[in-house]
Amino acid sequence: MTLSTFFIKDKKDKNIHIYKWDCDASSPKGVVQISHGMAEHGLRYDNFAKLLNDNGFIVYANDHRGHGKTSPNDLGYMGEGDAFQLMVDNLKEVTDLIKKENPNLPIFLFGHSMGSFLSLRYSELFGKELKGLILCGSNGNQKLLFSFAEKLAKYQMKKHGEKTPAKFMDKLSFGNFNNKFKPIRTNFDWLTRNTAEVDKYIDDPLCGAIHSNSYFYYLLKGLKRNHKSENLSMIPKSLPILLISGSEDPVGLMGNGVKKLQKSLLHHGINSVDMILYPGARHELLNEINKDDVHLDILKFLNDIL
């Protein structure tokens, strides 16, 4: 296994930081592209990438705009314009690089949390590039909530400015996530039952940033766009999709939002949409106390497609 890091320039002339984990296999099976979540970065997937390497997969992950080493001095601000779509476009630019470097290998996309929302949009626009899609810690359409929150985020953005950290929207979005887990030890207990992993997240200077007003506005705008019927209908019907979530994940509404997403995808004609809910697990499945089970299920999904 060899980890290398580098930058590519996107269409807006922004330097996007990329991690690449090369596997030692003489004939790699495929490539897994990772789309990380909000307020974290690609290197947090190092152990997962090494597992994939050991099983014959090359792995790429970029730090999204406003995240990690792409924006170390401007965490939480993605730049001017539609932040959600800009991040989706960056994912496609990474895919283009993957295809250039590995022209004959199938590509799988793994998206976690916010990264799963971006990955769903990616599958609508560029799904033909993929051999399979894994959405981890995701959620389905919450139409009324998205519409209300989008209007609120727009108001906050106009009142306080695009780049200003959206403390109000952040509290509104995440303030009740720990309610089920009281008494709590930290503000991030909802991430995982593994307290060591929670502490690593808290101690990581590239994690936990409060995102900008413009981020929340374009995120909510993007979520509404994701779930429009005409957009979901653009996902290739033959694209295998795996939904994985914890039964105690507040992002996925304790499993209910993920079930809603599966139902919607099947309704729009996707032939294969499997779902696994892990009892007791919280948001970050790859850092959970049952991560070995999660790893096995992911590897089975990948290998069954090949």
Residue 200 lies in a domain: no
Structural domain includes residue 188? no
Return the percentage of the chain with pLDDT > 70, whole number. Answer: 100
| Domain around 106 | 2-142+226-305
Mean pLDDT, range 265-294, rounded to an integer: 99
pLDDT (average), residues 122-138: 99
pLDDT(70) > 90: yes
The pLDDT of residue 1 is above 90:
no
User: With bands split at pLDDT 50, 70 and 90, how would you rate the model's confidence at 104?
Assistant: very high
pLDDT for residue 24 is more than 90: no
Asked if the model's pLDDT at residue 189 lies above 90, the reply is yes
Model confidence at 26: pLDDT above 90? no
Say how many domains are in the chain: 1
CATH number of the domain bearing residue 114:
3.40.50.1820
Residue 89 has pLDDT above 90, yes or no: yes
**pLDDT of 248 higher than 90:** yes
| Predicted local confidence at residue 12, as pLDDT | 93
118 within domain boundaries: yes
Query: Is residue 110 assigned to a domain?
Result: yes
Whether 100 maps to a domain, the answer reads: yes
pLDDT at 153: 94
Assigned domain for 207 exists: no
**What share of the chain has pLDDT > 90, as a percent?**
97
pLDDT computed for residue 147 by the predictor? 93
DSSP for the chain, please give it: -EEEEEEEE-TTS-EEEEEEEE---SS--EEEEEE--TT--GGGGHHHHHHHHHTTEEEEEEPPTTSGGGSTTSTT---SS-HHHHHHHHHHHHHHHHHHHSTTS-EEEEEETHHHHHHHHHHHHHGGG-SEEEEES-----HHHHHHHHHHHHHHHHHH-SSSB-HHHHHHHHTTTTGGGPSPSSTTGGG-S-HHHHHHHHH-TTS-PPPBHHHHHHHHHHHHHHT-HHHHTTS-TT--EEEEEETT-TTTGGGHHHHHHHHHHHHTT-S-EEEEEETT--S-GGGSTTHHHHHHHHHHHHHHH-
Q: How confident is the model at residue 94 (pLDDT cuts 50, 70, 90)?
A: very high
In a domain, 232, yes or no: yes
The pLDDT score that the predictor gives to residue 245 is 99
Position 303 confidence tier, pLDDT thresholds 50, 70, 90: very high
Average pLDDT, the chain: 97
- pLDDT score at 290: 98
**Looking at the domain assignment, is residue 96 inside a domain?**
yes
**How high is the pLDDT of residue 25?**
78
Would the pLDDT of 98 be above 90?
A: yes
